[in-house]
Structure 1
Amino acid sequence: MYRDLGLELSRLVGTATAKSVAKALEITTVGGMLHQFPRRYLARGDLTDLDQLEVDEEVTILARVVNLSTRYMQTRKGTISDVVITDNSGHPSSLKISFFNGFKAKAELKAGVLAMFSGRVSLYNGSKVLTNPGYVLLPDDELAEHEVEVQAAKPVPIYPATAKFPSWKTQNVIEALLPTLDLAKIPDPVPKHIAARERLMPLWEAYTEIHMPSDMDAWPKARKRFRFQEALALQTALAQKRFESMHQNATGRPLVRGRLLDAFDDRLPYTLTAGQLDIGELIASEVAAGHPMHRLLQGEVGSGKTVIALRAMLQVVDAGGQAAFLAPTEVLAAQHLHSISALLGALGAGALLGGPHATAVTLLTGSMPVAAKKKALLAAASGEAGIVIGTHALLSDHVQFADLGLIVVDEQHRFGVEQRDALRAKALKPPHLLVMTATPIPRTVAMTVFGDLEVSELTELPAGRAPITTHVAPLAEHPSWESRVWARCREEVDAGHQVYVVCPKIGDGPDADDIAPSGGDTRPMAGVLDVVQYLRTVPALAGKRIEVLHGRMDSPDKQGTMAAFAAGEIDVLVSTTVIEVGVDVHNATLMVILDADRFGISSLHQLRGRVGRGGHKGTCLLVTNLEPDHPSRKRLDLVASTIDGFMLAREDMQMRREGDILGAKQSGGNSGLRVLSVLRDEDLIARARADATEIVEKDPELEFHPALKLEIDMYVTEKNEAFLERG
């Protein structure tokens, strides 16, 4: 009997089985297999709700066969066997499954048979179908003998599946593996006093009940134990990173009075908000300390993050250091250069022009002319430039700093670990780090994903930012409202303002900025090229200056159009989501988003943040042709109901199963967590974080917690390495 979770899986289940598991699931050890937990459980009498299946989703479903028919194919040799299955819901809910030359299926899938099917849902002639799925027959508890009835009463575990490795294959491997293990001797990674406080099921029992539950009441208790165990492992690993950074030596950059920062504060044309002042004081104290600051600053577009970052950079410059500002795109880098230079005025023009306490601000991007790039490199290396703003070009080996003291990273999720470390390596000592994001993240999510960063939130908008009113324009119920939408555009233009019209795609063909149809949705989408032609024929907009902006335009044309719109030379700008970042036009007061149901909550929220930026009231119209009961209409109603980005982010995560923010996929799917949910388990994560911090403070290397150290080693795979490296 074995208890070594690090043992090669092949030692216990055989080479052939281990190879198939490694190929399909990327699991090679006993511990990895043991922690391949079921996604859900089915009581054998509870058939899968077929109405809830999503197109393009890999599914495992439990259903009963209604009938089977076989016919010869017309265009090639062979037969097609069509199997119709039902969920016995009472309403007309059924699904057709097609098997090509399915001789085995034809023989086994008779009417009345209970079976589990695994495959990808697709659309055919407007109906959901499965084609050539894997399947396994199950004992029918209505017909079984006594022994089978006992087995049939146990829940059916449904494991994460792939096309070639369905749920029941994982179940077979687990059932072969468990009897070979001495589960009672596997050391518990959760310290005894914590396990007692949390009332956790014993580890040996939890392994059995999560994989082979005795009844429907057993597996939730097992799952609770592994949720806490996972949270503790993750938070302990993050606590170790925080401990390590807290014990690094950094150059403290204390406030120096009477220099650049004070001069900047004196020339600010507005008063900082209470939130900006509080967070600014906190950052100032951390930058002055002898160990590196690691802080995440999040807040809405326009909430004033840049001013906070700039004040921290000026503090570092006053203390003799330099600051690097890393932006994800050249457009955004140029936007930051423009806004920071405007805020600094002569103070950012260098000592020659701006006085003894001024500094130089320089830009470094990949597409700059050679001469300009050389000048920027020299300014950074000599220390002449106190602030260097740039893109990935800052990470080049050719870039050197005289004394890099602070790194500011904008939109952190756009950068990888290697890129961040490449910039850090340019400093003489570990530099201070300020990470900023305009995509609101619920606090517990931030604590988990950016776990080695302290989190600050800006929740109030500065003076001059008017609230944005958002309305849904439902054309399915009110077709006549379309003309009213364009009339509203005319009213804004006549009032001296400007309008955005946003479309989900450019036009026909392979469009770089198009939003890909999801869920098999084949409805046509509004395209920029068609919409601009149409709007030029709309009577309400006659004589108005209407232009286009999209990602396939040449860079000079894009820049020219954006500059013309900013200068008020364009009344209506018809655009894709390229305006989501880097465009700041204070006179734009109305945004019309066509086919708004094609956009995610986060995109809609970010897009509407482009209006109402100049003190004028902003309005956003979400135009949709969807029927009122369509699920995507809920997203639009939610966005229209609030301007609270943190609340929207939370709802967005719940709708999309956390995948996007946690970094595994753009939506849905595997978040890198086994059984933990950062939204559902907020309180649990907070307790685990406190426990982890206490453990690491007393035992940084986990010498007295070997089982927890092993759990972390197993947990930190390439899939979820991002959790520990995001900061």
Structure 2
Amino acid sequence: MSGPGGRDDAVGPAVPGDHAGGRLSEPLTRVLGSRTAQSLGKLGLETVGDLLRHYPRRYGSPGEMTPIRDLKVGEHVTVMAQVRSATARPMRNRGGAMLEAVVTDGQDSLRLTFFAKRMGVLRMHEDKLRAGRTGLFTGTVGEYRGERQLTHPDYLIVGVDAADEDEAVLEASRPIPIYPAAAGVPTWRIGRSVRTVLDPLAPAEVDDPVPSELLERHGHMGLLDAWRGIHTPEVDADWRAARARLVYEEALVLQAALARRRAVHDAHATLARPGRADGALTAFDAQLPWPLTGAQVRAGERIAADLARETPMLRLLQGDVGSGKTLVALRAMLQVVDSGGQAALLAPTEVLAGQHLRTLRAMLGALADAGTLGGDPRGTRITLLTGSQGAASRRKALADAASGEAGIVVGTHALLSETVQFADLGLVVVDEQHRFGVEQRDALRTRGVHPPHMLVMTATPIPRTVAMTVFGDLETTVLDEKPAGRAEVTTHVVPAGNRAWLDRVWARIAEEVAQGRRAYVVCPRIEEGETTPDDDAPEASADDLADDGLLDLGGKAKGEAKERPPLAAATQVVEMLRARPELAGTGIGLLHGRMASDDKDDAMAAFASGRTPVLVSTTVVEVGVDVPEASVMVVMDAQHFGISQLHQLRGRIGRGGLPGVCLLVTNAEEGTLAAERLAAVAGTTDGFELADKDVELRREGDVLGTAQSGGRNSLRLLRVVRDAKVIAQARDDARELVAADPQLADHPALAAAIDEWLGEEREQFLERG
């Protein structure tokens, strides 16, 4: 099949593979020629294997047209439509010639426009674009005089653009693969290149990662047949069966990587940390002013049992905002301290690390001052280590950690430095795992003679399907109860264009401040006109922005985005609020990730004390910050944030028994995914319900994180919600394989697939910053 410009003469015959498996690693320049390979390189496709794993996004049928009314200006699209008319004519005013064609889906029409210096150049298009013919048309949607159009689109006419009549008949009758494409690389050029490398491929040249016994057990076809089925299906059933096999393969590779990782971990021995009956933990429990929830008791018992074993603990502790994860983690740290060891608490930001230090000291009281006047001798010492500390305080913190004087060390990425040594590190607690990669948390696991136990916490509730996909090497504990004293928080969506409603937002803040309460105002940017977010604060993903219409799939701004108002900047919002008459005389503070560490601490202290009861901030306050008097959370440009971020921000209020109100200010238009996200957050405070909704709304790759959604070797077909049963099946199969063969020595193709697809540097599951 050829495109409108004829066959690419740079496409040559396939080069035979020199050995089994070697063919898939051949560069496309050898197989397809430099011109075609260069265009495919724009899509990250460099080798034969890359190309064969670039799967169709969907399949077209000559009888099914693309709804033209759904096309948006600025989108790069591939549509299937029928030609209504095509007319070439000379241009009077500017010279040259133009061809205007109209295609239709039966309801709406789309204009195609071609320009040329001479009329003869356009005759080929006019001859092919005959009324009644069906084609695939690729280009960027523009607008001219109120009508949508494609200018100089690439296209393929079904049953015409083929090597011979037999191929034309075949192409006109079978499903038409439509690939993820890019400007200058239309879907049919990808399809033709795929067939060039696929047709001569022999079974001996393809190493199948899925063991034959599993293929037989589940009734799946081999890899080569699956590639043929998904790229060149004769009927819909072909690509459906092929996709099912490839989905299972991706699940198996991921689960085998996790199972192998867990097996390696379990093979190491460590020191048991059983605690002692009359230690810091017993004293701490005795001074608690409230009873533990049932969930906290159950989680504590599981963790205590893990710590008492000689196999290193590797456990995920997840719970909704306010479920008491910090208390559970502190009790685990005290058990380790009672056993003569140390605990390290790794936080993603300096603000959160400082908050943890203050919280732990407040919870422990005299137990945090062992060895000092007034300290409890059964307790320990806590120290803080961050990257921006002064030289003297850093030296003191390093000495406390190395000597063992500090039983608990709280810090940021600075704890990962090789210069940080511990006397006897027994437990690593990683807070907000989604802000750290696996290799980062492992940096602490390699310290000392004995690998420490590991407790991974996340305040972002994770659906079971996601947890078993991305945290398959961790045992999971869920805190599904909230302690007494958490007040209800109501959430409202506020249209940014409604001046009266926005005035009411600032009036509500003034009313709350007058009652001695605090208010957060969160902005997505620090300075006006910035295109990068706060260094310390995550932002919505490219997929979220694409859902909102702000970006096209290539990451470039869509035409629609130019008309949107600029995102709120914290520095400007501070000045705006200071000028509001209802807030006259009210202290208004500023906090963002680029501030010096001392300035951040001062800003938080002023807010907590009430000196500046209104704090304008970026999402550096997203997690962990605890100010009991805070009762209002205003999120500017709320459409810019994902569901989990908004839920975390809302969790900063209602923490001291005061009822809270969260106001989501937005420009999101009705019917967009952004509006649906905001409605979901306003509709429930159940974090697990929101987590399910988040997975449902997100684009497929985003759930697994950047390591698997953007890389050349990333997973392509697996969907954690749709394929939950397949993932569970693959997990059982993977555990069975690894139990019998921990190094997968008898399954070299599977081991190679793990290394190729994931690799040590790619095992960063759930990097959702």
Instruction: Supply the AA of the counterpart residue of 2:703.
Output: I
Structure 2 residue 625 is the aligned partner of structure 1 residue 583: yes
TM-superposition CA deviations, 1:349-396 (whole Å, max 9, x none): 133442432211111112111111111111111111111111122122
Partner of 1:94: 110
| Correspondence 1:68-217 to 2 at 5 A | 86-91=103-108, 94=110, 106-110=122-126, 112=131, 114-118=134-138, 134-139=154-159, 148-163=168-183, 165-183=185-203, 189-191=209-211, 194-201=214-221, 203-217=223-237
1:39 shift after superposition = 2.1
- 2: CA distance, partners of 1:671 / 1:707: 15
- 1: CA distance, partners of 2:175 / 2:432: 44
Structure 2 residue 467 is the aligned partner of structure 1 residue 446: yes
Alignment match of 1:270 (pick from 286, 290, 297):
290
- 1: CA distance, partners of 2:453 / 2:671: 50
- 2: CA distance, partners of 1:433 / 1:79: 71
Secondary structure in structure 2 of the residue aligned to 1:242: helix
Secondary structure in structure 2 of the residue aligned to 1:643: coil
CA contact (8 A) 1:656 1:667 kept: no
CA contact (8 A) 1:296 1:434 kept: yes
Partner of 1:255: 275
- What percent of counterpart residues are identical? 50
| Correspondence 1:23-422 to 2 at 5 A | 23-24=41-42, 26=44, 30-53=48-71, 59-64=77-82, 86-91=103-108, 94=110, 106-110=122-126, 112=131, 114-118=134-138, 134-139=154-159, 148-163=168-183, 165-183=185-203, 189-191=209-211, 194-201=214-221, 203-353=223-373, 354-422=375-443
Secondary structure in structure 1 of the residue aligned to 2:236: coil
Structure 2 residue 676 is the aligned partner of structure 1 residue 634: yes
| Correspondence 1:429-578 to 2 at 5 A | 429-474=450-495, 480-506=500-526, 508-510=528-530, 513=533, 518-519=550-551, 520=558, 521=561, 522-524=563-565, 525-536=567-578, 538=580, 540-541=582-583, 544-551=586-593, 556-578=598-620
CA contact (8 A) 1:658 1:668 kept: no
1:198 shift after superposition = 3.0
Secondary structure in structure 1 of the residue aligned to 2:407: strand
1:22 shift after superposition = 7.9
- Shift of the 626–159 alpha-carbon distance from structure 1 to 2, 3 Å rule, reads closer
CA contact (8 A) 2:158 2:171 kept: no
1:14 shift after superposition = 5.6
Instruction: Supply the AA of the counterpart residue of 2:59.
Output: Y
Unaligned runs of 5+ in 2: 1-15, 552-557
Secondary structure in structure 2 of the residue aligned to 1:223: helix
CA contact (8 A) 1:6 1:29 kept: no
Instruction: Supply the AA of the counterpart residue of 2:641.
Output: F
TM-score, normalization: structure 2? 0.83
- 2: CA distance, partners of 1:554 / 1:67: 64
Instruction: Supply the AA of the counterpart residue of 2:267.
Output: H
- Shift of the 293–150 alpha-carbon distance from structure 1 to 2, 3 Å rule, reads same
Instruction: Supply the AA of the counterpart residue of 1:9.
Output: E
- 2: CA distance, partners of 1:122 / 1:259: 72
1:59 shift after superposition = 4.2
1:571 shift after superposition = 3.8
Partner of 1:614: 656
- 2: CA distance, partners of 1:642 / 1:135: 47
TM-superposition CA deviations, 1:124-162 (whole Å, max 9, x none): 999977666654444369xx9786333211111122334
Instruction: Supply the AA of the counterpart residue of 1:6.
Output: G
- Shift of the 374–624 alpha-carbon distance from structure 1 to 2, 3 Å rule, reads closer
- 2: CA distance, partners of 1:676 / 1:394: 35
Q: State the number of aligned residues.
A: 720
CA contact (8 A) 2:592 2:600 kept: yes
CA contact (8 A) 2:520 2:617 kept: yes
TM-superposition CA deviations, 1:294-352 (whole Å, max 9, x none): 11222223221111111111111111111111112111111111111111111111334
Partner of 2:22: 6
Instruction: Supply the AA of the counterpart residue of 2:724.
Output: E
TM-superposition CA deviations, 1:593-630 (whole Å, max 9, x none): 33333332222111111110101111112233545444
Partner of 1:694: 736
Structure 2 residue 699 is the aligned partner of structure 1 residue 657: yes
1:227 shift after superposition = 1.0
- Shift of the 536–653 alpha-carbon distance from structure 1 to 2, 3 Å rule, reads same
Structure 1 stretch 101-110 or stretch 296-305: which is displaced more? Answer: 101-110
- 1: CA distance, partners of 2:362 / 2:671: 48
CA contact (8 A) 2:344 2:410 kept: yes
- 1: CA distance, partners of 2:618 / 2:114: 40
Instruction: Supply the AA of the counterpart residue of 2:564.
Output: R
CA contact (8 A) 2:55 2:230 kept: yes
Structure 1 stretch 587-596 or stretch 61-70: which is displaced more? Answer: 61-70
Structure 1 stretch 300-309 or stretch 626-635: which is displaced more? Answer: 626-635
TM-superposition CA deviations, 1:628-681 (whole Å, max 9, x none): 444432221111111122222232233221433312289999992121111110
Instruction: Supply the AA of the counterpart residue of 2:309.
Output: A
- Shift of the 149–611 alpha-carbon distance from structure 1 to 2, 3 Å rule, reads same
Secondary structure in structure 1 of the residue aligned to 2:634: strand
- Shift of the 106–188 alpha-carbon distance from structure 1 to 2, 3 Å rule, reads same
Structure 1 stretch 257-266 or stretch 447-456: which is displaced more? Answer: 447-456
- 2: CA distance, partners of 1:104 / 1:655: 49
- Shift of the 422–532 alpha-carbon distance from structure 1 to 2, 3 Å rule, reads closer
TM-superposition CA deviations, 1:103-131 (whole Å, max 9, x none): 99845444546543445668999997766
- 1: CA distance, partners of 2:711 / 2:119: 33
- Shift of the 346–540 alpha-carbon distance from structure 1 to 2, 3 Å rule, reads same
CA contact (8 A) 1:295 1:434 kept: yes
TM-superposition CA deviations, 1:473-516 (whole Å, max 9, x none): 3466x764344434433433343322223334445333654779
CA contact (8 A) 2:367 2:377 kept: no
- Shift of the 247–56 alpha-carbon distance from structure 1 to 2, 3 Å rule, reads farther
Secondary structure in structure 1 of the residue aligned to 2:734: helix
- Shift of the 653–233 alpha-carbon distance from structure 1 to 2, 3 Å rule, reads same
Alignment match of 2:636 (pick from 594, 597, 602):
594
CA contact (8 A) 1:86 1:95 kept: yes
- 2: CA distance, partners of 1:412 / 1:238: 16
- 2: CA distance, partners of 1:46 / 1:281: 59
Unaligned runs of 5+ in 1: none
Secondary structure in structure 2 of the residue aligned to 1:180: coil
1:710 shift after superposition = 4.6
CA contact (8 A) 1:119 1:133 kept: yes
- 2: CA distance, partners of 1:352 / 1:85: 85
- 2: CA distance, partners of 1:35 / 1:700: 27
CA contact (8 A) 1:591 1:620 kept: yes
TM-superposition CA deviations, 1:686-718 (whole Å, max 9, x none): 111111111211222334444544544443358
- 2: CA distance, partners of 1:444 / 1:308: 24
- Shift of the 639–401 alpha-carbon distance from structure 1 to 2, 3 Å rule, reads same
CA contact (8 A) 2:528 2:568 kept: no
- 2: CA distance, partners of 1:579 / 1:614: 17
CA contact (8 A) 1:9 1:29 kept: yes
